Structure formats: structure tokens, C-alpha cells
Structure 1
Amino acid sequence: MRPALPIAANASPAAGYVLAFVATAVAVIVAAAAERWLGLADLSLVFMLAVLVVAVRTHTGPALLTAVLCFLAFNFFFIEPRYSFYIHARHGVATVALFLAAALIAGRLASQLAMQVQALRIANLHANARQALAGKLSVATDASGVVDAAESVFREGLGADAWVRLGDDCATDQGGGVEEHGWWFLPLRAPSGPLGVIGLKLPPSSTRLDAMQQMTAKAMAGDISQALQRTRLAGELETTRMANETERLRSALLSSVSHDLRTPLASIIGAAGSLENYGDAMNDADRRSLLDAIRTEGERLDRYIQNLLDMTRLGHGELVLHRDWIGVDELVGAAVGRLQRQHPAARFVARVPQEMEPLWVHPALIEQALFNVLENAVKFSPPDAPVEIDAHAIGNAVQLDITDHGPGIPEDERARIFDRFYSVARGDRGRGGTGLGLAICRGMIGAHGGEVEALPAPSGRGTTIRITLPRIEPTP
């Protein structure tokens, strides 16, 4: 790619003055040819054109020199008496004088206009380079991305190889740039201290940068410094956020463990102690009651530990799907059967169409997800109100709506009930819950490509948890 603006674009000053002599010689030749073969009388226009050409291609000094040389050449070769600087007639003196004045003025104006055009072109190229840098810096997410963007833009936009080094120990103490041995060094600074240094390698033909190039390089260095500050601040905020999130989860986990592990353990230990100390004095009904309590609390403890293990596997991406065909009615029946063993008084109404096709899923995981939702619904349904389970085929997916008739969940909190350890007196935290059941349900359903959402119950009282599972055919 051709660089938009080479850093070393400064032409040698002597070249402009050489062009002045060449342009004058060419003007003499052209004027002589025009006079001999074209019969052109006003040859001053040829020399005026030479002055304008030099003026627009160089700067004021060569343009003025060309005007003087063309004046002398016009006088020497084409004003009577020829081959002499002596002017015989008054009108000849006026002609050459006016020519000199016009040439000087035209050369001056043309040179100024050319320099303004060149300055505008350079300013536009520098603005484009800064715009390109801003675009690449805006998408840089870390310090390495900022460095890559800086090196790319300096190379493509300004034609200079850039070298960026980050760190407090490599920042120069100079307030501006330092030029030495073909390099231009600029510090990258922030209010909190130096960030690093950026070096631009100058081409061998250039010894230093002009004022415009220095100003653009400093402005781009400032943009790079701001981008580095932004990425550093974003990294610090992310680190702080992760630390806060880790602390929050740790506190929630400890709180949950302290309650949900100690409570069943205390019940198991108490029941076992009673059997040990007073078992011989108890009747069969009392002993059976204590054994049932031990079994129930042990199963509760097992479910909690299983939930923790499932959440760990989900969090680390270690959940493996072993798919198989299973009917929706089988999934619902298995989950309801497990729950009724733990809550004999719970009531369920399941509506699953007989013609509903089976699903290609991991049966144990979907059953566990459905069990977690049903367990949560049982906790919040009144004793006289059943939990309703409705299955529907919607396009190429199956929807399972689990509806309770409890107090419901406010709209602004429905999405949050699927967060781990969500600590409000609703959802599965409500009556001795761990805050993991619905989170695990979302993870298991999500692993199958499905979705879980909380909706208001159709009756206006309670909550509907909708599970949507896509129909997937097994790969041959």
C-alpha cells in the first residue's frame, strides 16, 4: 500500500533554484521558436508562464529568482537592441518593467496559493490518519490491540515504521519528542504517570520532521495514550467486578451451605441420636418416624450436593449430553413421581397430548430440570391448589408450562430468579431453597439449545415457568 503521506516528504531547497534556471532556459528556447515559426509578437507571455510553473511547484524564493531571470532573458534576447541589456526605446523600458512587476506579483501569488493547497492536502492526510487511528483504537480492547492499531496507522497513514513500548521505566522525561539517529521519540503520558514511549523511524532521506508532522505525531500519541488509559481502566473495572462477583458468590455459597447442609445434618444427627439412646424404649411407629426423617433429610442433602455438582459442571463446560429418545409424558411422570415421594400432599395436574412425539434429549438432565421447576412450584402453591403441567407442540419445538398459584413474581424480578443464589424471599429461595434449582434448570435446558423463562400465570395469580426445547433429530 502506498503511504498517504511519507514522513520525509521534504524536497531539497536547492532543487527549486535549479528548476528556476531550467525553466528560464526552456522559456528562451520556446520563445525563440514561437517568434521564428509562429510569428508570436508578445513573447512576454512565454516567460510569464515559466514563472507561474516554477511558483506552483516550489516556493517563493525560486519563484522570485525565476521572475528576475526571465526578465533578464527577455530583455537580453528579445528587446531591441538584442543581446544587450540596454533598452533603446522608452516603450521598451516600460514593457520590461511592467513584465518584471507582473512576474514578481504573479510568482508570489502562485507560490502562496500552491503552498496553501499543499498545506490543506497535508492537513487532510493528517486528519485522515487520525480518523483511521481513532477508528482502530475504538475497537481495541486491551493494550496489545492499541499497540497494533498504532503501528498499523503510522505505517499505512504516515509511511513511518512505529515502535511502541509500554511501561513506566521506558518513558522519556522530555516534555515533547526527541529526535536522534533517525528516530523520533514521543512519550505516552497519563495523569497518573508515564505509560510508555512511541518511536517513529525516519527514512534515510530525512533528518527531522517539519512542524506539521511533529504536531500530528504528538496528537496521535495523545490519542494512543487515552486509548491505553481506557483499556487499563476497563481492565481494572473488570478485575474489580470479577472480584466483587466472586466475593458475592462466595458469601452466598457459604450462607447457603451453612443453612442447607447444617439443617439436614442436624436432623439426621438428632434422629440417629434418639434411636441410639432411646430406641429400645420406643414403639415401632416412633422408630419408623425417625428412620423416615433420616431418609428424607439424607435425600434432601443428596439433592443439594447434586445441585452443587451440576452447577460446577455447567460453570466449567463439563456437562456431556448423552441423548436418547424419551416421551414427554415419561419425563413428566418421572419428575412428578420423585416429587410426590418427598411431598406426598402435593397435587399435580398434567396435560400431555397422547400424539406428542418423543424428544431426542439427555433424559436424566431434562428430568432433573423439570424436577427443579416442579419443586419450586410446590413450595409456593397453596395446599389446596394443584401445580399444573401443560405440554404443547409449537412449530419445531415443545413447550412445557409449569404453573403454580402462589403469590407470583414481580415483572422486574422474573429474569433474576434464574441467577445463582438469588437472595430474595421468592423463587426457589423462598422456603428453605438454595437458589440453585432454577439456575441449574436454565443451564441444563440451555445445553440442549432450549430456553427457560418466567411468565405470569394465565389466571393472573401465580407464576408460569415455560421450558422450550427444540426438536433435534439424531445425527446418523
Structure 2
Amino acid sequence: MTINRKNREIARSVMKVLVVLTLSLLGSLLIAGLGAGRESILMMFLLGVLFVTILTNGYIYGLAASVAGVVLFDFFFTEPRYAFLIYSAVDVMLLLFFLVTAVVSGTITSRLQKQISISHQSELTARLLYKVAEDFLHITGKGNIILRGIKYIYDHTGYASRVILDGDDQEYFSEQYVQSDMEGLTIPIQGVAKQMGSLTLYCGRDELTFQQELVVKTVATQLGAALDREYSYREREEIRVAMERERLRSTLLRSVAHDLRTPLTALTGASSLLTDKFEQLSLEEQKKLAADISEEMIWLANFVENILNMTRIGEGQLFLHKEDEVVDDVVNEATSHMSRILQNRHLEVSLPNEVISLPMDGKLVVQVLVNLLDNAVKHTPLESCIDLKVGILGNDVVFEVCDNGNGIAEDIMNRLFDGFTTPKNNIIDGKRGMGLGLAICKAIVEAHGGAIRAENQPAGGARFVFSLPNGGE
């Protein structure tokens, strides 16, 4: 392919020389017929030599045009005419000066043309290198980086290529690549610290041009830099995720240890008092201690359930077991869990007149309601009123839990449903909690295809609203 291309270029250059010399001869004959002197005729041939030098890419063509110009001038314009003889010494000197002038002028023109070509080539090369480097700056993902490099090579060289990375069983190749025994040029893909793979260009026995070779080597270099950057970013991301996981684990352990201390202390004290002074206690005091133990056990059960759910959510193992559940039954089960925890607070429940059933995981939805009601208890004083309302809005069933406490602090409003988010002020009942309840509510509701939000009421207190789709997924 390369030999044929060179032969075609030589043929075109020879044709240009013949055309220019023919035009120069015709022009010389024309001006000779108009009475022009031999000096003017020589200038016509000199112009022809300069045009040959400009139109062709080789110094040899200008030299050949100079010699041909001398021969043509001798044959057509010196005595004796139409013969390759020269009788006049003046004509010999004239032709000699013409030849020297033509060769010098052609050489200067050829060099100037070559410098222009080199400058133009350098500009194109600089633009090409800049474009290659710029393209790789904005690509992420190992596969995307390699495929962009392969496509870039094919667009600028016309040859298919293949990339193989060390330690990676997958091969990346251009769409035009066909498995064969075709010879290829292999270039290593070098990273900062080690070789990362190799790039093979399937060009057969063709000799690459300077620009083609530059494109391939530049792409290989940019592939190494981009892949090195991608691997470094991935390693940093893995380290960051591991550190974040360790931080959450430490936070969880500290929170569990802290939050278990209060109910366990209460349980220990109440059970010890019952054991040691059971006979001395009145019936009312015995009932009070037993109620306290029951309340703390209920709180611990909810606490452990939240931890288990949060662990499942974190591991992506929160699976729903949907069945048609009656909303009234779910609400009644949630309020029964809260009967001892409410103490002197008043819980007002409002349900629709008609019976509503939804495809849902009843146990998890009960956990959502218990968490929201428990959150309302923690943030409201005794004798407060808590409302639980259920209604229908379009294709959704909407649940609302409202209280008349102090409302939600503005500094945590935007991250209220994130894990481990708790207000800085003291909790009413002294049980601070880990801040997992609302995060679990959000995960469960969204797993059902619903949405949850929180807001402060104009008259005071907080309102938590979540909706579940009526009809399921």
C-alpha cells in the first residue's frame, strides 16, 4: 500500500513537471513571436522552474526542470535552431547563468517550501496532541478510556487496534478489528510505576507516516496516564468508603453502648428492688416496678429491631414480604406497642370510614409507625397530645403523625432522615436514641415505593407524613 502510494505521488509530480515545462515552452514561443529577447525567454523558463519547485515536493524535480529548461532553450531559441548545438559563446554563458540561477532559485524555493511544510506539520501535530490530551481529561471508567483511545487511533490512522491490560482477562478492540494473523505494531501502555498493558496496531507491512506513529504513541501514553489516574481514584474511593464504614461502625457501637446503659440500669434497679424488698412493697409499688420493667423491655425490643433493620439496610438486604394488609389492623398493632410508652400523653387516632387494604410488609410498616410515635413521645412533655391520622390522597394512602412539642430544629431539618442525626437539646424523657429511627422509616417507605417528609406546624410541634401507593407495584 505504501509503495503504491509513493508511485502515485511520483507519477503526479512528473506530470506536473511536464505540464509546467510545456506551458513555459508555449509561453516562450509566444513572447518570442512578439519580438521579445532571449533574456525574457529565459525568465519564462526560470518562472517554470520556480513553479515546478512549488508544485512538487522534491528538490530533484526542480533540478530536472532547470536542466530541461536549458535543453529546450538550446533547441528552440539558439543558433542553429532545432539542434542541440551552440556556436555563440554568449549563448553558452547565458545558458550557464540561467542554469545556476535556476538551481539556486529552485533550491531556495524548495527549502522555503519545506520549512513552511514543517511549520504546518508542527502546528497540526501540536493541535493533534492537545486534542488527544484534552479528550482523555474528561473520560472516566476503564472501559470508556480504552474504547475512546481505540476509536481515536482508527479515526486518525485508519487502522484497527486492540488493548490488553495486565491482570485483566477482557480484551478491548475496535469494531473494525477481525481476528487474523495480520502483523501488528505493539506499543507498551506505561503507567507511573509499572507497565499496565499493551496496545497493538494492526497495520500489516505498511510503513506508518510520522503523524500516524505519533498518534499511536500519544494515545498509548495518554491511556497509561488516564488508567493510572482511574486506578488511583478507585483506590482512594475504596479507602474513603472503608474509612466511612469504619466510622459508622464505631459510631454505631458507641451509640449502642450508650443507649443500652440507661434502660439496663433501670431494669437492674427495678428487678433488684423487686427481688430484695418484694414483701415490703405495696401492691401498687409492685405494679409500678413491673410496669417500668415492661416499658423498658418494650423500648429495648424496638431499639434492637431498629438496629437489625439498619444493618439490613446498610447491607442491601432489606427485603419486603408484601401481602394485602388492612390499614386499621396495622395502626392498631402499632398503637398497642405504644400503650405503655405514652404514659400520660394522649394519642388521638383518626382512620377513614371505609376499610382500606394495601399490599405491604405489615411488620415493617408497623415499625415505621412505632418509630414515628416514639419520636413524638421523646420530644413532647407529659399531658401532650399526639395525633395519628390516615387518609386517602389520589392513589396513595397517607399517614400523619403530629405532636404539639417544640418542633424540629432548623439545623437538622435538611438531614433529619440521615442516620445518627439527633438534636442537641435534651430529650424530654431522657432517652436520647441513636438517630436511626427516622432513617429506617425513610428506607422502609421508599422500599414500598412511597415518600416521607417532615415539617413544623404553624401552631407549633412537628408533623411527619408518609404515603404508600394504593395498589402496589
TM-score bracket for this pair, using the shorter chain length: 0.7 to 0.9
Cα distance change, pair 300–62 in 1 and its aligned pair in 2 (3 A) = same
1:72-99: per-residue Cα shift (whole Å, max 9, x none)? 3432554342242638798999799779
Cα distance change, pair 352–293 in 1 and its aligned pair in 2 (3 A) = closer
Partners in 1 of 2:254 and 2:431 — Cα distance?
15
Partners in 2 of 1:197 and 1:466 — Cα distance?
55
Cα distance change, pair 285–406 in 1 and its aligned pair in 2 (3 A) = closer
Give the aligned partner of residue 291 of structure 2: 292
Cα distance change, pair 20–124 in 1 and its aligned pair in 2 (3 A) = closer
Following superposition, the deviation at residue 30 of structure 1 comes to: 8.0
The answer on whether the counterparts of 1:20 and 1:54 sit within 8 Å (CA) in structure 2 is no
Following superposition, the deviation at residue 293 of structure 1 comes to: 3.2
- What residue identity is the alignment partner of 1:455? E
Give the aligned partner of residue 62 of structure 1: 60
1:473 aligns with 2:471: yes
Partners in 2 of 1:472 and 1:95 — Cα distance?
105
Following superposition, the deviation at residue 443 of structure 1 comes to: 0.6
Give the aligned partner of residue 174 of structure 1: none
1:341 is paired with a residue of what secondary structure?
coil
The answer on whether the counterparts of 2:145 and 2:223 sit within 8 Å (CA) in structure 1 is yes
Partners in 1 of 2:47 and 2:427 — Cα distance?
94
The answer on whether the counterparts of 1:64 and 1:104 sit within 8 Å (CA) in structure 2 is no
1:86 aligns with 2:86: yes
The answer on whether the counterparts of 1:387 and 1:402 sit within 8 Å (CA) in structure 2 is yes
2:387 is paired with a residue of what secondary structure?
strand
Following superposition, the deviation at residue 414 of structure 1 comes to: 1.5
1:287-325: per-residue Cα shift (whole Å, max 9, x none)? 433433333322222222211221222223333333344
1:344 is paired with a residue of what secondary structure?
coil
2:319 is paired with a residue of what secondary structure?
coil
Give the aligned partner of residue 238 of structure 1: 237
Cα distance change, pair 57–23 in 1 and its aligned pair in 2 (3 A) = closer
1:439 aligns with 2:433: no
Partners in 1 of 2:100 and 2:219 — Cα distance?
46
- What residue identity is the alignment partner of 1:74? L
The answer on whether the counterparts of 2:422 and 2:435 sit within 8 Å (CA) in structure 1 is yes
The alignment's TM-score, normalised by the length of structure 2, stands at: 0.72
2:416 is paired with a residue of what secondary structure?
helix
Following superposition, the deviation at residue 457 of structure 1 comes to: 2.1
1:448 aligns with 2:428: no
Partners in 2 of 1:56 and 1:399 — Cα distance?
83
Partners in 2 of 1:103 and 1:220 — Cα distance?
43
1:261 is paired with a residue of what secondary structure?
helix
Give the aligned partner of residue 75 of structure 1: 73
Following superposition, the deviation at residue 242 of structure 1 comes to: 1.6
The answer on whether the counterparts of 1:87 and 1:93 sit within 8 Å (CA) in structure 2 is no
Higher alpha-carbon deviation: 422-431 or 347-356: 422-431
Cα distance change, pair 163–424 in 1 and its aligned pair in 2 (3 A) = same
Following superposition, the deviation at residue 371 of structure 1 comes to: 1.7
Partners in 2 of 1:164 and 1:406 — Cα distance?
65
1:79-127: per-residue Cα shift (whole Å, max 9, x none)? 3422426387989997997799689758965885587468646744763
1:418 is paired with a residue of what secondary structure?
coil
2:444 is paired with a residue of what secondary structure?
helix
Partners in 2 of 1:123 and 1:88 — Cα distance?
52
The answer on whether the counterparts of 1:348 and 1:386 sit within 8 Å (CA) in structure 2 is yes
Following superposition, the deviation at residue 415 of structure 1 comes to: 2.9
Cα distance change, pair 24–127 in 1 and its aligned pair in 2 (3 A) = closer
The answer on whether the counterparts of 2:373 and 2:401 sit within 8 Å (CA) in structure 1 is yes
Partners in 2 of 1:47 and 1:92 — Cα distance?
16
The answer on whether the counterparts of 2:386 and 2:401 sit within 8 Å (CA) in structure 1 is yes
The answer on whether the counterparts of 2:53 and 2:109 sit within 8 Å (CA) in structure 1 is no
- What residue identity is the alignment partner of 2:419? R
Give the aligned partner of residue 322 of structure 1: 321
Partners in 1 of 2:212 and 2:4 — Cα distance?
11
Bigger relative contact order, structure 1 or 2 (CA pairs below 8 A, ≥6 apart):
1
Q: Kindly, what percent of the aligned residue pairs are identical?
A: 24
Structure 2's unaligned 5+ residue stretches are 35-40, 168-182
Following superposition, the deviation at residue 380 of structure 1 comes to: 0.5
2:62 is paired with a residue of what secondary structure?
helix
Cα distance change, pair 200–360 in 1 and its aligned pair in 2 (3 A) = closer
Cα distance change, pair 337–275 in 1 and its aligned pair in 2 (3 A) = closer
Following superposition, the deviation at residue 364 of structure 1 comes to: 2.5
The within-5 A match list for 1:11-90 is 23-25=16-18, 52=51, 55-59=54-58, 61-80=59-78, 81-84=81-84, 86=86
Give the aligned partner of residue 261 of structure 1: 260
Higher alpha-carbon deviation: 383-392 or 411-420: 383-392
Cα distance change, pair 96–309 in 1 and its aligned pair in 2 (3 A) = same
Partners in 1 of 2:196 and 2:3 — Cα distance?
28
Partners in 1 of 2:105 and 2:335 — Cα distance?
101
Cα distance change, pair 354–98 in 1 and its aligned pair in 2 (3 A) = farther
1:391-432: per-residue Cα shift (whole Å, max 9, x none)? 454444344332333333333421322222235436999833
Partners in 2 of 1:73 and 1:263 — Cα distance?
116
The answer on whether the counterparts of 1:307 and 1:440 sit within 8 Å (CA) in structure 2 is yes
Cα distance change, pair 11–255 in 1 and its aligned pair in 2 (3 A) = same
The answer on whether the counterparts of 1:445 and 1:452 sit within 8 Å (CA) in structure 2 is yes
- What residue identity is the alignment partner of 2:73? N
The within-5 A match list for 1:25-424 is 25=18, 52=51, 55-59=54-58, 61-80=59-78, 81-84=81-84, 86=86, 109=109, 112=112, 116=116, 120=120, 123-124=123-124, 127-128=127-128, 130-131=130-131, 134-142=134-142, 145-159=144-158, 161=161, 188=190, 190=192, 193=193, 196=196, 203=203, 210=210, 223-224=222-223, 226-326=225-325, 328=327, 330-354=329-353, 358-391=357-390, 393-424=392-423
Following superposition, the deviation at residue 445 of structure 1 comes to: 0.4
The answer on whether the counterparts of 1:147 and 1:164 sit within 8 Å (CA) in structure 2 is no
Partners in 2 of 1:427 and 1:132 — Cα distance?
60
The answer on whether the counterparts of 1:418 and 1:439 sit within 8 Å (CA) in structure 2 is yes
1:427-446: per-residue Cα shift (whole Å, max 9, x none)? 99983313221111011001
Aligned length: 446
Following superposition, the deviation at residue 343 of structure 1 comes to: 1.8
Higher alpha-carbon deviation: 424-433 or 388-397: 424-433
Partners in 2 of 1:396 and 1:62 — Cα distance?
87
Partners in 2 of 1:46 and 1:402 — Cα distance?
102
Structure 1's unaligned 5+ residue stretches are 1-5, 168-180
Cα distance change, pair 402–65 in 1 and its aligned pair in 2 (3 A) = farther
2:408 is paired with a residue of what secondary structure?
coil
